[in-house]
Amino acid sequence: MPRFDYDLVTIGAGSGGVRASRLAGGYGARVAIAEQGRVGGTCVLRGCVPKKLLVYGAHFADDFADARAYGWDPGAPGFDWPALIAAKNRELTRLEGVYERVLRDNKVDILVGTARLADPHTVEVAGRTVTAERILIATGGAPSVPRVPGVHFAVTSNEALELPALPRRVVIAGGGYIAVEFAGIFNALGAEVTVVIRAPNILRGFDDDIRETLAAEMEKRGVGIRRGTLIQSIEQVANGRSVVLSGDEEIETDLVMFATGRLPNTRGLGLDAVGVALDDKGAVVVDEWSRTAVPHIYAVGDCTDRMNLTPVAIAEGRAFAENEFNGKSIRMTYENIPSAVFSQPPVGTVGLTEERARARGAVDVYLSRFKPMKHTLTGRDERVMMKLVVDAASDRVLGCHMVGVDAPEIIQGMAVALTCGATKAQVDATLGIHPTAAEEFVTMREKRPAPRA
């Protein structure tokens, strides 16, 4: 008789947990996955997928406006926010069903309810107790909001995806990717948007040319950016919300949204009691094999706060399953991981920023700014920025950055080149596809002058 009920119990049915569980089940392991909400996790239900659908919906505003320059008369288009939200919700329900079927097809039991560890091998789920040889923590993260008076009058990205009506005025606190993405959505759909950031610029941690370019493009579109500023308090007033900023500036708005970061979702799991170490943010501390301080307990995804991206969680979950249930020895590498910001215009980036590259040694920088061909007829005042950061000694491309339409699609291909260790000479030897924006990456020849010491 087996010593444990399961070979693996996973807590959290998001991207990383589902990938690990279905692979382990497919390799013949007895697997259960516990989830207190819907199967799919942040990306499918509260993040990447629904947000991208709203981005698509918002972008039609530009498409209708630009169509006249190409001979179309679209008339006076109308927009129905509830219809978009309903369509988005239908797609999420479909995807949830796909995830559930994938788990069932791989003989993974779904345990519905809030889970916690009763001891190092025992998980309690909604009054039921199960034992497992291995336990995987994949509980993701949750929005973090500051303690300011009236914060209960604000929403996070979770609620912003379910608003019953489109607000006319929006104040967004935060300058990260979630903040700028929702700023672009609301702005394109006609709302008056103000972004409040305590830093000098948006997108901390991204390349400075990305930050400066996107901020300028957002401001051209009418998004207000209040730099070096914090929300001090929020009050409900007759016409919506009253927001007081540092410096006693007051703004009236219909919606206040906090996009001020996310924290690992580890509270109440009982991890401390069984010896699993957490850092000061509550993130699960793991080694290169995703193993915690307790050898048979592992963690993947945003709850570890290593690199909070869906493809990373999926790759970590796959590596865990391959190593533990398929006899492989796979270590995750966190270099040259591409990422995107679905702002308007969007951002794509892979590799090192110029600042981080210069900290390693001498670099050559190639940068181009231009009006995309589409807007030679529309007259839209929008610029594309493309940038390559190259190691001066080896000629290897260390970083590739872009702001502009299709940036995420283009950077995905450049990520392959960086992963293969491409040099600038190899990029230069590649023929471009004309006429495209992407060809600019293979035609940049002029180095930007090095900054003065």
Report, as residue numbers or ranges, the catalytic residues: 434
**What single-letter amino acid sits at 97?**
G
Beta carbons within 10 angstroms of residue 322's beta carbon: 17
Provide the token pair at 92.
């999420």
Identify whether the C-beta of residue 155 lies closer than 8 Å to the C-beta of residue 257. Answer: yes
Assess whether the previous peptide bond of 345 is cis (omega < 30° from 0).
Answer: yes
SS3 216: helix
What distances in angstroms separate CA 431 from CA 267, 401, 428, one per listed residue? 53, 19, 8
364, containing H or E segment: strand 363-370
Neighbouring-strand partners of residue 386? 368, 402
- Spatial neighbors of 48 by CB under 8 A, at least 6 apart, are 42, 310
- Spatial neighbors of 33 by CB under 8 A, at least 6 apart, are 9, 10, 11, 12, 13, 17, 18, 21, 103, 108, 109, 110, 111
Distance of CA 232 to the CA centre of its chain: 27
Identify whether the C-beta of residue 32 lies closer than 8 Å to the C-beta of residue 11. Answer: no
Neighbouring-strand partners of residue 400? 350, 388
388, containing H or E segment: strand 384-391
SS3 122: strand
Measured CA to CA, the distance from residue 309 to residue 306 in angstroms comes to: 9
Neighbouring-strand partners of residue 173? 196, 258
Provide the token pair at 397.
């491309």
What distances in angstroms separate CA 453 from CA 204, 358, 362, 449, 450, one per listed residue? 23, 12, 12, 12, 9
The alpha carbon dihedral of 73, 79, 80, 85 has a sign of: positive
355, containing H or E segment: helix 354-360
C-alpha closest to that of 321 among 26, 116, 15: 26
Burial class (CB in 10 A: 0-12, 13-18, 19+), 333: exposed
